[in-house]
Amino acid sequence: MKYDFDTILDRQHTNSEKWDVKPGELPMTTADMDFKTAPEIMQAMKDKINAGAFGYEYPSQEYFDAVAHWYKSEHNAEAQTSWMRFATGVIPSITASVNHLSHTGDNVLLMEPVYNTFYNSILNSGRHALASQLKYDRSTYTYSVDWDDLEEKMSNPLTTLMILCNPHNPTGYVWSRDELMRIIKLAQKHGVIVISDEIHGDLVLKGPDYTPTFSLPEEYRQNLVTLVSTSKTFNVAALHAATGIVANPILRERFTRAINKYEVAEPNLLAIPGTIAAYTQGADWLHQLKKYLLHNREYLEQFISDNLPQLHVVPGTATYLVWIDVSEVTNDSNALAQKIRQETGLIINPGTYYHGNGNEFIRINIACPLAQIKDGLSRLAKAIKN
């Protein structure tokens, strides 16, 4: 079956956060996709609704079996279903974990630039965000870990947790297996629990696949909470469904207490059937989606190379979010984003949202029909040339 990724959806007036914009504006911002999800998922949800009774739900063994099946078939990664817990999202799980696994005033370590919502989980919980800056090589437009700085921040007695983004948002970087083991080993050395957000793990568009952290050797799983979800993969963020995978039984019990204490462990009526359908019937749709997204990315890279040589795309291989160096144009990406919106109606994320050296970057969401990519890039070129 060939799936349709070319039809432009009208998402205005649908309660879409991303599309709450003025007429004529084009948002390429919030990390959801302007594609209909897999029809197999929609059918499973329709069947649930047609049943007509919507009482309290619980995650069945079928749900956990579907998660295990997916990671084995798609990533050749083994996870025991006994390690798994259902939660109402990756961010709710992180917030609950920050509150329950650390204390007020503790440091939570991040590697910047990084997904901005992590800061809400940290600061709203009364913890401090402690950043280790990724090294940026302006000759190759690539990032790498500053290992000395990372260990120095981990060794701080107040650092009790680290939030890892695997693959990394916004850079699209896919951590190697060796890098992940090195990060986790350093954390173990200094008594730091690692919470790994792997929400973009299914969206590696080319090159080596991502490594689910729960698949690392047993010795590396002892201080680790892995969080996965169908939300980015299948454009079903509003299902509010995620899975925590925790191999260490003591840490798993603490994670279980966290998500129950903060009431983020109970599914809504569509979360279970939607996730099961995604993980058992969604592979073909995802494989076609990734080919489409890769074509979108390659089109964007070629367009920028041909028309906007003062911009430089960071060569990430994962996610549908593109991180673009605009330092030859400005060192204030927030002002640039405002200018672009005012002059052309194109809405993009300024890199300042993601801290670190984000003031010299913008982030663009390419998970939309190619016609919208072409429209957005035309507007971007107009604004930059002005």
- DSSP β-ladder status, 224-228 and 321-325: unpaired
> What 8-state DSSP symbol labels residue 215?
G
Q: Which of 137, 81, 129 is nearest to 106 (CA)?
A: 129
Residue 195: is its pLDDT beyond 90? yes
pLDDT of 149-168, one tens digit each? 999 999 999 999 999 999 99
Angle between helices 249-261 and 90-101 (to 10 degrees): 110
Query: Angle formed by the axes of helices 370-385 and 283-307, to 10°?
Result: 20
Label residue 305 by pLDDT band (50, 70, 90): very high
194 pLDDT above the threshold of 90: yes
> Residue 99: its pLDDT value, please?
98
Residue 170 pLDDT > 90: yes
Residue in 359, 339, 356, 358 with CA at minimum distance from that of residue 347: 339
Quick one: residue 76, left, alpha or beta (phi over 0 = left, psi -120 to 50 = alpha)? Answer: left
What is the model's pTM?
Answer: 0.97
Instruction: Calculate what percentage of the chain has a pLDDT beyond 70.
Output: 100
Share the mean pLDDT of the chain: 97
pLDDT reading at 298 higher than 90: yes
* Mean predicted confidence (pLDDT) in 256-277: 98
Alpha-carbon distance 127 to 152, whole Å? 19
- Identify which of 327, 323, 343, 351 has the alpha carbon closest to the alpha carbon of residue 385: 343
pLDDT at 386: 86
Per-residue pLDDT at 100: 98
Rounded CA-CA distance 348/336 in Å is 10
Q: What is the pLDDT of residues 68-95, one digit of tens each?
A: 999 999 999 999 999 999 999 999 999 9
Looking at residues 275-302, what average pLDDT do you find? 98
